[in-house]
Copies of this chain bind each other. A is one copy, B any other.
Amino acid sequence: MSPPTAIDTQPAAEDIYVPTIIDRLSVNGVPSRRLKTAALPKSLAPATSSDVFKGSQYGKPKARRWDHLISEESKQRMPSSLKGAARYLKQPGLISLGGGLPSSEYFPIEKIDVKVPRPPHFSEQETKETGVTMSIGKHDIAEGKSLYDLHVALNYGQATGSAQLLRFVTEHTEIVHNPPYSDWQSVLTTGSTSALDIALRLFFVRGDIMLTEEYAFSSTVEAARPLGVRACGIKMDDQGLVPAEMDRILSTWNPAKWNGSPKPKVLYTVPSGQNPTGATQSIERRRELYKVCQKHDIYILEDEPYYFLQMSPWKGADASPQIPPSSHEEFLSSLVPSYLSLDIDGRVMRLDSFSKVIAPGSRCGWVTASEQIIERFIRHQEYSTQNPSGISQIILYKLLDETWGHGGYLDWLIDLRMHYTTRRDILLAACDQHIPRQVTTWTAPAAGMFHWFTIHTSSHPSHKTSSPKTLLEIEEEIFLAGIARGVLTSRGSWFRAEGSNNLKRIVAPRAAAHGTQAESPEIDPEHDDRIYFRATFAAASGQDIEKAIARFGEALRSTFGITEANGHAI
């Protein structure tokens, strides 16, 4: 628990400091950068760090210290005593009978060939025709064929992940985010679910409260709960979390209302394409929220799996087709800046993942934070996940670094977000056509994989009877009506950060008259008659998305007894 003085000693909110950028890395700058940074080690399980791959951080301040946030468990972690002996390995001629690393002659994998797309021909069909085969041998390093091979990748590694892939993600992070403090580092993870588990144990103790969106990624809330960490959900609007609401909650924090829990110290947020609401925070929103975090000394866990799935705005079904950005710079500057890129204090841990942009089965991602936090994070990985699969790491390295390079990877991301934009547009066009606007509102998602329906329930037929249904009952009715018609959606209540118990009691106020809301789509937010559904456009085919939305529209109309389609008679 942080002593109260830790909060009191923070300065008042001030404008975000914009550092003088003297060595901002670009895609084209990577080759000359690599001439200046450390060579990749050729040995087994070599120690490494982002620091040896970063450019000059001259002029940037150092991150603040977070000693008061680090849990007892994390504080007590010590470097592995066995790994300490590795420093003697540099001695020429030394023979090690120390570490129990198996000899590579007993790894029964001689060679791995992987067929991947050749940029910009990314589709499955094009890959079949024009794809590149990356060849990965067991002794490529010794044979001078590559800087990474199976002899290294199939053996034990360090808890930072391999130097080869770490260099790539460090450069990528610098190209995309260029954190404005000097002592940032990245480290590979076995995916963001694992990274979050580690972060929760690093920053929280039993009885703590985690700030998050009112509707939040349920796995995060459910991961925190058994650790004795409850979520405090902050009200949201169509840009996600509302900073003024968070400020109000923190300024008036009363432990007595939260079973004695002290004022929260950590915010978990998904700023782009938030799961489940699909909301994306604008740059202004992010600046405002960062200031509130400075004011109350809040540390930020920025979970950003969907960052590169930011889309061009939805302009209706008849709009002209989207035009891809003309350069990597145009693409990168079209993305809303991350918290990491605004983080002058070093108060952000950013969680990146290959799951949504390469493949979930890689079980590989990375986190970026200040040296102090990353060091604790590595200590945790040493005694748990160790590092991502070496097979995943070497395939990602061969693909992203040796085959595509940073430019090819950005081309892939540009292509990918075009596909997701097309999928979103199919879903939104189907919504315009099939979803009854009498009871439903939505905001077009600007990023990610999810669309969020707001259902206004006060015109539900049961409200005309003496036993009106509760919000949770109506939600269930719609959900099951969807299933009966052949569409599976996700119920909003599953995502309520503080749980859905209160929805069991709430009955929405009765609408003045059936059909009134059709003429007044501006519904009073104080009505509290809203329930929500999440639909993903990531998985099903375009045709199936359209069919599924039509079915969901039918489910809504049958639940509410609506006989017109979208305000028009059917």
A389 near B360 with CB under 8 A, answer no
Q: Taking each of A99, A275, A364, which has the highest tally of chain B beta carbons within 10 Å of its own beta carbon?
A: A99
Partner of A360, one of B82, B101, B227, B486: B101
Q: Is A537 an interface residue (CB 8 A)?
A: yes
B389 near A392 with CB under 8 A, answer yes
Q: Is A329 an interface residue (CB 8 A)?
A: no
| Total copies of this chain within the assembly | 2
A80 near B222 with CB under 8 A, answer yes
Chain A 162-184, CB-CB to B under 8 Å as 1, else 0, gives: 00000000000000000000000
Closest chain-B Cβ to A381's Cβ sits at a distance in Å of: 9
Chain A 70-96, CB-CB to B under 8 Å as 1, else 0, gives: 001111111011100100110101111
Partner of A109, one of B115, B386, B390: B115
Q: Is A545 an interface residue (CB 8 A)?
A: yes
A105 cross-chain contacts in B, Cβ below 8 A: 123-124, 419
A261 cross-chain contacts in B, Cβ below 8 A: none
Partner of A486, one of B91, B388, B487: B91
Q: Is A450 an interface residue (CB 8 A)?
A: yes
Closest chain-B Cβ to A329's Cβ sits at a distance in Å of: 23
Given known pairs A74-B226, A108-B122, the reply for A153 and B361 (CB within 8 Å) is yes
Partner of A359, one of B85, B99, B107, B487: B107
Interface size on A, residues (CB 8 A): 114
Selecting from A59-67, A190-198, A282-290, the interface stretch reads A190-198
Q: Is A102 an interface residue (CB 8 A)?
A: yes
A100 cross-chain contacts in B, Cβ below 8 A: 275, 449-450, 536, 538-539
Closest chain-B Cβ to A406's Cβ sits at a distance in Å of: 15
Given known pairs A102-B538, A156-B361, A222-B78, the reply for A197 and B384 (CB within 8 Å) is yes
Q: Is A564 an interface residue (CB 8 A)?
A: no
A96 near B539 with CB under 8 A, answer yes
Bound together, the chains give a CA A104 to CA B489 distance in angstroms of: 20
B388 near A93 with CB under 8 A, answer no
A-B CB contact pairs (8 Å), 8 listed: A96-B487, A97-B549, A100-B539, A103-B539, A109-B116, A193-B385, A359-B390, A362-B390
Apart from A72-B226, A73-B227: 9 A-B pairs, beta carbons within 8 A? A76-B225, A81-B222, A94-B486, A102-B360, A110-B116, A112-B114, A155-B361, A197-B384, A364-B389
